[in-house]
Amino acid sequence: MAKAQTKLWTTAALLAVAVGAAATTPAAAKVEVIYSTYVAQGSSSNLQYEAYLDELSRRTQGEIKVKDKMFMAALMKAGEHLTGIGKGLADVGYFCTGYTPALLPLTSMAELPFVTEKGDAVSATLAELYDSYAPLRKEYQKQNVEVLAFDAPSATILGVNKAVTSSAQLKGLKVRAYGDLGKIVGKTAGMIPVPMATTDIYTGMQTGAIDGYIGVPLWMPGPENWLQHTKTLIAPGIGTYYTCGLAMNLDVFKRLPQSAKDEIAKMRREFPAKSIDFVLKGDAATVKKAQELKVGFYRFTAAEVEAWKKASDYDALKADWIKSRQARTDANVAEFLKVYEETLAKHLPRSTYEQKFP
């Protein structure tokens, strides 16, 4: 009996110590983050990610909260965002692969032209492969970031400062176009590509340094105020020539409780369907503003799209993309493209996106 009583007292003492320790152990610290983007506050890409961060805060019961927001490249230039987030200049931020394709060779394969104009299918594909295809996640971890979401890209448009009713009328125009897209418009249309960040397009159009811009979504010219210097918006049928997303500094991500990490994983899969709603609204807003400013609209005919694709020597272009990106990674780029195309085919029938011109 004495032994039993001693055992009970010992057990009670241990429980008391455990309870006391629990009471004095501090709760997991809330994570307050600085958010940075290089686009205007009213642009679709920013609005969707502000909404995302608000929802993330709610779904994690305030574990993650935004402390400060930086817009219009106030903290970092467009091309510095991916690496800047990795270095901790911001905790969370907007990035686009086109500015740093050498750092994201697999992701940049999703920018291959003439594949699809269904941006929600593209982002849903990337979100799935980020979780299921290890080399894709690894190329972000190399930059010390965790992808929170991939937004749904709108099919690229071409805006120029002259009236256009035929693709032939584009020859000789100086257009903002970076990287491989610059090579494509130069080779297929005889345009002169001028590499510059989107933040420089307004000044470029205003001063005449450029005659137009390509490689941007339909929702962008409105909030960025490019329309006052634009005479025609053109749908060239190239496809969704950009992949962008929201990234978090990996060290910040690792400090989060597992429940918050799990919620982020769920939201990454859910986001493409939410993103496309912002894209559609943004597209419609740009179209409305363009109509008010008497901007014209032109959509390439099927024959013009095919002529551009043929002039680009598409098979050679595709092979060159694989070769150039393979030089930047240990991952198998051809294998990734095959998996990407197979996964995209699964998501395309679920797409709800259509780029609408008047």
pLDDT recorded at residue 40: 87
Could you report the per-residue pLDDT of 231-283, keeping only the tens digit for each?
999 999 999 988 999 999 999 999 999 999 999 999 999 999 999 999 999 99
Is the four-CA dihedral 54, 59, 61, 65 of positive or negative sign? Answer: negative
**Which residues make beta-bridge pairs with 33?**
66
Could you report the per-residue pLDDT of 77-135, keeping only the tens digit for each?
999 999 999 999 999 999 999 889 999 999 999 999 999 999 999 999 999 999 999 99
Percent of the chain with pLDDT over 90: 85
d(CA 152, CA 149): 10
Domains and CATH numbers, the chain: 31-152+243-281 (3.40.190.170), 156-241+286-350 (3.40.190.170)
* pTM as predicted: 0.87
Burial track 17-34 (b if 16+ CB lie within 10 A, e otherwise): eeeeeeeeeeeeeebebb
Assess whether pLDDT exceeds 70 at residue 27.
Answer: no
Question: Tokens 């095919």 correspond to what residue?
Answer: 306
Mean pLDDT of the chain: 92
When pLDDT is cut at 50, 70 and 90, the band that residue 353 belongs to is very high
When pLDDT is cut at 50, 70 and 90, the band that residue 180 belongs to is confident
Is the four-CA dihedral 277, 282, 288, 291 of positive or negative sign? Answer: negative
